[in-house]
Chain A
Amino acid sequence: MLLSELPISGAWGERHLLGLERLSAEQLTTVLDLAEHYDRVTQGGTQRLDVLKGLVVANLFFENSTRTRTSFSLAARRLGADTVDFSASSSSLSKGETFIDTALTIEAMGVDMVVCRHRTPGAPHLLARHLKASVLNAGDGTHEHPTQGLLDIYTIRKQCGRISGLTVALVGDIRHSRVARSNIHGLVTLGARVIVCGPATLIPSDITRLGVEVAYNLDEILPEVDCVNLLRVQFERQRGAFFPSIAEYAHLFGMNGDRIRRAKESLMVLAPGPINRGVELTPDVADGPNSLILNQVSNGLLIRMACLTLLTQERRRIQGGQS
């Protein structure tokens, strides 16, 4: 199958994928639809296509990640692209070579697309200004994680066929969560009602300006909610204590069997992972019938295949226009 044969109907027009904030409902739908198409033609991503044959995708990970990097590598290879992995801790970089130098060096090896994870918000934006390659943000600090947002949304849409009109609760550490921000932007744009819920220390007071509601009592909102997305407590990003104890956190915001019984029967439970069992959710919930956690992982592959494809298509379109 060739790139030109793919059923990409809707709008896209982006050379980089840096975040979901500026994407329109139409653009978001284009990604979701292409992921759905890939689901059908590859039997859930298990069969290879060669629409990106000859393309080189570099995984530039300045922050540890096994899941996301593996998912991106697999997505690229499923589409016939070559991948190179580059891992570095930011600390070793700061000793000599600057971040931009590193990226330029890697680009000089003939890379078409850079998948970047970095602990600093805006790091992929900096790359996008300096590189000719397409840049795909795989998580920049506490800013955005667009493919995670897309795969969460895709998982919800696949489960109940729509986003508009649903009530989605993002629970936990909103302040330090890039997953929360990407989910908020995507869900609000697609017409969902979004409630953020967590300890007051972990919810910035002006978050409502992003179009969400704020709740501090999970039990109060639970009966109205169609989907809960249980964000991981980002112990590594917090400076100092934002709540008194893990036990108190689990008591107030952890998803457990009791809470599941008080929620809608059709409640969708999402967690971007890696999950802290017993903190954000108990094992019976994680492994129970409401959980879509493993679906999220498989859907992640499809979403990343779709994003790599759309960025490549746009890049070829621009290059075609230039030559």
Chain B
Amino acid sequence: MSNLLILGGRVIDPANNLDGIADVLIQAGRIAAVTLRPTGAAAPVAPAGTEVIDATGLIVSPGFIDTHVSLREPGFEEDECTASGTAAALAGGFTTIAAQSDTSPVVDNRSAAEFIRLQAERAGNCRVYPLGAVTKESHGEELAEIGQLVEGGAVGFSDAKRPVANSEVMRRALEYTRMFNRPILHFAMVPELSEGGVMHEGFQATRLGLRGIPAAAQDIMTGRDIALAELTGGRVHLMCVTTADSVERVRRAQAAGISVTADVTPHHLLLTDEVMDSFDTMYKCHPPLRSAEHVAALIAGLKDGTLSAISADHQPLAFEKKQVELDNAPPGICGIETLLPVCIKALIEPGHLTWSDLISRLTTGPAAVLGLKHGTLGPGELADVTLIDPTQQWTVRASDFRSKSRNTPFDGIQFTGRVVATIVEGEVRYRLSR
């Protein structure tokens, strides 16, 4: 393990309330020191055997963390595999991800969880923690072997995009996971209200004749999950919140001391349902892109911390799967490599969030959801670092993705700001080639 000295970058470490020009010394894979540099002071001299990285003009952030990433292996290797998905994560600035359980077979037993870890180790890209299924085969009926999944490394439990619709099952799951102090990452959606829908229910859906998914489909389930979290004392994390009312429900529940956290995706912050005008399957995602008033509420929720994490909700899909009619196309956006630039455009450029707030939603926020120690540059912590050039203008080329898939609505779109290097435990695992 090499030693690194990252010189003269703007170090932003929300966990330690730090935002200033500083030098970061990494030794033996851990943060040795972060030293603020007064204006005009000379750069420190690197100790012998230390590689120097000039970070002048760059932002030095703790490595990003995503609480739910679909890696698609085993079962859907045409979309993604652990190696390609973790390489994509590195390119997106992520040093730690939780792998979603929606593989085939589902990660509902210990050996399946261990396989995820094994494949991640073989790939040697970013750190991967498995999520275990809440219920056997994610059918929503019987609890999966949650205790053994914890022993297999599961940091949280999720049936991915399949809501645990039965309230009794969800109640037992929240009670049972409490024993292990693990969260349930739930996709709050009433199936009978969302089934067959392809976009947000509202004026645009009426215009286009497309079947809508009402905001209420998410709000009702969000309300139920909060009530069950209160009843059981279990910890629920709501994935992909997209509606104004859900944000407000989470806000009130948090104020009442209920253990509920929530995340949002970059595409739900930048795009509205008006893009469905194009009938382009690349915009189809679940939950659907909402209307502008919902987007404003999501941004307000991020601002005041109600939404403590941003997740790419990475859903890679093989090329041909999206080359079909809108009804037949599976929902999802291959988003982990474009998360940062999309967030910059949606949040930093309009002045909604400070850099420090954005970085906290990508580091300390998700770390707290999963109960992880990562996401900080505190002395002695594992040296996971993401270097960002906040001014670089570039155009997204889906063909350059590390992911196996190309299903992005941002192909050909110009952005400002991108990840230039990603360091995992003191090792530079990704460096942007110019």
Contact = CB atoms under 8 A, between A and B. Distances in A.
A141 B202 contact: no
Given A98-B320, A126-B279, A239-B196, A143 B209 contact: yes
Interface string B313-325: 0000000100111
A120 interface: yes
A100 B203 contact: no
Nearest to B203: A206
A94 B324 contact: yes
Given A121-B279, A126-B279, A210 B209 contact: no
Interface in B283-341: 320, 323-328
A51 B150 CA distance: 75
Contacts of B325: 90, 99, 118, 120, 122-123, 126
B122 interface: no
A121 B278 CA distance: 11
Contact of B324 (A99, A143, A210): A99
A125 to B, nearest CB: 5
Q: Which of B203, B205, B324 has the most CB atoms of chain A within a 10 A radius of its CB? A: B324
B210 interface: yes
Contacts of B328: 90, 94, 99, 120
A142 interface: yes
Contact of B207 (A119, A123, A210): A210
Interface residues of A, number: 27
Contacts of B326: 120-123
B210 A121 contact: yes
A143 B323 contact: no
B210 A143 contact: yes
Contacts of B205: 204
Contacts of A82: none
A90 B328 CA distance: 10
A123 to B, nearest CB: 5
Given A121-B208, A121-B279, A125-B279, A206 B323 contact: no
Nearest to B201: A204
A78 interface: no
B323 A100 contact: yes
B111 interface: no
B354 interface: no
A144 B203 contact: no
B27 to A, nearest CB: 54
Interface in B347-399: none
Nearest to A21: B207
B2 interface: no
B209 A142 contact: yes
Contacts of A100: 323-324
A94 B205 CA distance: 24
Contacts of B206: 204, 206-207, 209-210
Interface of B: 195-196, 202-203, 205-211, 278-279, 320, 323-328
Interface of A: 21, 90, 94, 98-100, 118-123, 125-126, 140-144, 178, 181, 204, 206-207, 209-210, 239
